[in-house]
Amino acid sequence: MNKRIAITGIGVVTPIGIGNIAFTKALKEGKSGVSIIESFDTNAYSTKFAAVIKNFYPEQFIDKKKLKRMARFTQLGFAATKLAIEDSALDLSKEDLSRIGVITGTGIGGLDVIEEEEQTLLTKGPRRVSPFLIPMIITNILPGEIAINYGFTGPNYAIASACASSNHAMGDALGLLRGGDVDIVVTGGAEGAIVPLGLAGFCSIKALSQRNNEPQKASRPFDKNRDGFVMGEGAGIIVLETLEHALNRGAKIYAEFAGYGASNDAYHITAPEPEGKAAGFAMEKAITDAGISKEEVDYINAHGTSTILNDKTETFVIKKVFGERAYKIPISSTKSMTGHLLGGAAVVELAATLLTMREGFIHPTINYETPDPDCDLDYVPNAARIKQINCALSNSLGFGGHNATIVIKRYVK
């Protein structure tokens, strides 16, 4: 359990950039990935926009025959995996593939396929439903497809815990590596649920912003005039290795994956527990697990959804955990730019933290215009800030009361 764990590869497919270079540039510029939905008619919807990935050509990453048998979330996650493995410079011909695991998170899975095949059933009958329906929609098909493609025979499964899914996946990966079960884990998450049914569901629970006249300004975490989150799609994958394994192969190291904590509010299916006791426990546990002091945390990537309750509660919890020092810690929300990637959110936000740590800046929380008395911390408003991050904390809080926090720190020999 004393093993040090290195992060050696990152792959992202997001509404603000595909690949690390484009994604990092967008983060520094404070670019919004939100736009009016064009893939289906939104006239009857209270929200008409989302953070959709543009210029994504899955055939660049996936064989055309396989592509037809993959739901959107699998396509995105598979592409992010290819980018992450390339970035890690792993030579798989030299690896014991039984010592490589794959753990991914997805909140919803193949909703696009469910919707399409339901229409087929209703209009053409059961005999016309695709024989690939079930394997396309199940959440574990992403790690399965990754394993099949690369020949990884180590532990392989998916986790579903709504918006905390990919933090939980990465936390499990940390445990496997520390326990000596594997040398490498390919981990992260993906989501692709911007379809009529998905949008309708979130509209019905009144979770989404309705700023239809200014969609790029709709995701505004911690701003007093926030009115809901923005649906997004995307994927992120990271490559984790034991530090020993990474050093032996001469890998570049982004940072150490130092700590992890998880909990549940046991309170409500969608609303956070007002006192944030369990969320605070997850943060405290991650800090303890990392073997650091609270004074060492010099940046927080917040869950920061742009909903009234989440932002207020998360701010309260951060102050509860860090006391007066909370006012001195820069905090930002990647969701202000990418929208909420649901099961893919946590890993993309960790990727943002890793890449900005490497480049020496903190990305902004865009659209922060009007301070909220209940949200009174330093949210790095609207413009990137030049600062070296040495130790960062990343929060994810999901429907069902799921909380998961990760701590990373700069690698020092």
pTM for the whole structure? 0.97
Which residues 6+ apart lie within 8 Å of 316 measured at CB? 275, 276, 374
Show the beta-strand stretches assigned E in 173-233.
184-191
Distance CA 386, CA 177 (A): 33
Mean of the pLDDT values across residues 162-179? 97
pLDDT at residue 52 above 90? yes
Round the average pLDDT of the chain to a whole number and report it.
Answer: 97
User: 109-118: per-residue pLDDT in tens?
Assistant: 999 999 999 9
Phi, psi (degrees; rounded to nearest 5) at 375:
-125, 85
Q: Choose the catalytic residue: 168, 340, 363, 402.
A: 340
Contact (Cβ atoms closer than 8 angstroms) between residue 221 and residue 379? yes
pLDDT digits (tens, 9 = 90+) for 94-140: 999 999 999 999 999 999 999 999 999 999 999 999 999 999 999 99
Residue 397 and residue 385: Cα distance in Å, rounded?
26
Residues facing 259 on adjacent strands: 407
Mean pLDDT for the stretch of residues 254-267: 97
CA–CA distance, 330 with 29 (Å, rounded to integer): 17
Q: How far apart are CA 195 and CA 117, in angstroms?
A: 13
Strand segments, DSSP code E, in 150-226 are 156-159, 184-191
What is the distance of C-alpha 56 from the center of its chain? 18
Average pLDDT rounded to a whole number, residues 152-160: 98
The full DSSP string for 263-279 is: EE--S-SSSPPTT-HHH
The position carrying tokens 């955990």 is: 321
Query: Tokens for 18?
Result: 């595909």
- pLDDT score of 327: 98
pLDDT at 413: 85
Q: Annotated catalytic residue: which of 168, 303, 363, 402?
A: 303
Residue 363 falls in the annotated catalytic set: no
Residue 338 CB: number of other CB atoms within 10 A? 32
- Residue 42 in contact with residue 108, Cβ under 8 Å? no
Domains of the chain, start order? 5-248 (3.40.47.10), 260-408 (3.40.47.10)
Phi-psi region of 36 (alpha: psi -120 to 50; beta: other; left: phi over 0): beta
CA distance 227 to 321: 26
* Residues 105, 166 contacting (CB under 8 angstroms): yes
> Which amino acid is residue 397, in one-letter code?
L
Q: What is the pLDDT of residue 2?
A: 74
Distance in angstroms (rounded) separating the CA atoms of residues 411 and 254: 7
Q: What is the Cα–Cα distance from 298 to 387, expressed in whole angstroms?
A: 10
Helices of type H across 249-397: 277-290, 308-322, 335-338, 345-359
Write the DSSP assignment of 107-150 as a string of letters. SS--HHHHHHHHHHHHHH-GGGS-TTHHHHHSTTHHHHHHHHHH
| Structure confidence at residue 1 (pLDDT) | 57
Alpha-carbon separation of residue 230 from 115, 195, 334, 353 (angstroms):
21, 14, 12, 21
pLDDT in tens, 278-316: 999 999 999 999 999 999 999 999 999 999 999 999 999
Q: Tell me the torsion sign for CA atoms 198, 202, 205, 211.
A: negative
Q: What are phi and psi of 101, to 5 degrees?
A: -105, 165
How far is CA 179 from each of CA 3, 152, 182, 202, 283, rounded to the nearest angstrom?
Answer: 8, 18, 8, 39, 22
pLDDT band at 364 (very low <50, low <70, confident <90, very high): very high
Buried b (16+ CB within 10 A) or exposed e, 168-206: bbbbbbbebbbeeebbbbbbbbbbbbbbbebbebbbeee
